[in-house]
Amino acid sequence: MKGIIQEYKLFTQQPHNMKVILITNLLYAMVLPVVEIFVGAYVMRSTSKPIMVAYYQLAMYVGVVATSIVNGFMMKSFSVKNLYSAGILLSGLSMFIMMFIKSLGLFELGMTGFLLGAASGFFWTNRYLLTLYNTTDNNRNYFFGLESFFFSIMSITIPLFIGGFISQMDGKNVLGLYFDLNLCYKAVTIAVVIVTILACIVLHHGNFIDQKPKPFLFFHYHILWRKMLLLAGLKGMVQGFLVTAPAILILKFIGDEGSLGLIQGISGTFTAILVYVLGRIAKPQDRLKIFIGGLFIFFVGTLCNGILFSAIGVILFVLCKVLFQPLFDLAYFPIMMKTIDVVAKIEKRNEYAYIQSHEFGLFIGRAFGLGLFILLAYFFSQDFALKYAIIIVAGLQLLAYPLAKNITKQSYI
């Protein structure tokens, strides 16, 4: 108890705007597991085709890139805080719209995926920008460690709660309402909208200062930033699989969303504590050690899935995925922001130019990863794609370590 009080006191000592962003992200952390896990599961149940889930994800990532460009122009008329709020609200509303569509064909999946991607584009680009302006290289490990702690804890509790809700309510009558699977999903989505509203209220307690609008679209960058874009591409390759693969594999081998939430939660508590401690004690020079640890864990998990391709293999893969993602992000985001600090000064450009181009780098990687899955599923089989596409992208992602090492070395010269 004494330790918890000390950690709380440490949090209260942080800059006001940093605390506001963290609390906002804590609330959004309740939304993200729904977006990442249950939207994929909903699409999978509605279409019964993993390839359609991949198509939905691809449409979503197109929306992210398109919105990151639109967001840059809108910053001339709206504050970053308001655009950030719009992304938070739109993420809940886009899910709400999807749940009320009666059939999910190619057109409907493409449109709803693009809309959710648009919400993510507003959210992530403005989140990066506010974090960049309101943190320093010295406190970013703590910031992302605490944020990863929030997301890890919520990745445990939210899937368990929602999975339990769906399992218990499916087929029951409450106050004259018959809860089938679709109505259960709609009830969850309404709760998501309420949480997004609360997150926006908290965000508006921040005293954020907007920078003067500057040009943000460029096609030539310093060599250091081009290396960072390549690193973003390697990161993006596995992101689509982190969203779709667990839902597809668990529904295929194990069972329903309740099982999905339970398996995600097995290693989540350990991961949450680990990333918080690392964020608390790790120094900037320790980031590469955390980075390679996360990469290795994920690669081992993909091998377990590909070799075993059974319920046990899926469980091992999901456990490794739950551990990998926050460890990787804990190291990746401070590296990215330090690189932006450096190249923005060298090129004398708006920081948003780098955030927007970073989204494009992520998209290239995401499109490659999902495209690989779709091609393997089309020319071989969906099982073949589920086995080997993830191993291929995880193996390629191991190249991220020497690249990150080179970027870090140049960023501190």
The confidence score (pLDDT) of residue 413 equals: 65
- Give me the domain span that covers residue 373: 8-204+222-411
- Checking if the pLDDT of 65 tops 80, the result is yes
Higher pLDDT, 262 or 86: 86
Whether residue 185 lies inside any domain: the answer is: yes
Q: Domain holding 43: CATH number?
A: 1.20.1250.20
* 214 is a domain residue: no
For the entire predicted model, the pTM comes to 0.82
Query: Residue 257: is its pLDDT beyond 80?
Result: no
> What's the pLDDT at 37?
60
Q: Is the pLDDT higher at 343 or at 167?
A: 343
Q: What is the pLDDT of residue 256?
A: 57
Mean pLDDT of the chain: 83
Quickly state the pLDDT bin for 334 (edges 50, 70, 90).
very high
Residue 3 included in any domain: no
Report the pLDDT value the prediction gives residue 47, as an integer from 0 to 100: 67
> Is 210 contained in some domain?
no
Percent of the chain with pLDDT over 90: 18
What's the rounded Cα separation, in Å, for the pair 94 and 116?
Answer: 5
Average pLDDT estimate for 45-63: 76
299 domain residue, yes or no: yes
Q: What is the pLDDT of residue 264?
A: 62
Q: For residue 211, is it within any domain?
A: no
pLDDT in tens, 272-326: 888 888 888 888 888 999 999 999 999 998 999 888 888 888 888 888 888 888 8
Evaluate if residue 231 carries a pLDDT over 90: yes
Query: So what's the pLDDT on residue 401?
Result: 93
407 located within any domain? yes
Residue 291's pLDDT is 92
Total of domains in the chain = 1
- Local confidence band at 233 (pLDDT 50, 70, 90 cut-offs): very high
Is 213 part of a structural domain of the chain? no
Q: What percent of the chain has pLDDT over 70?
A: 88
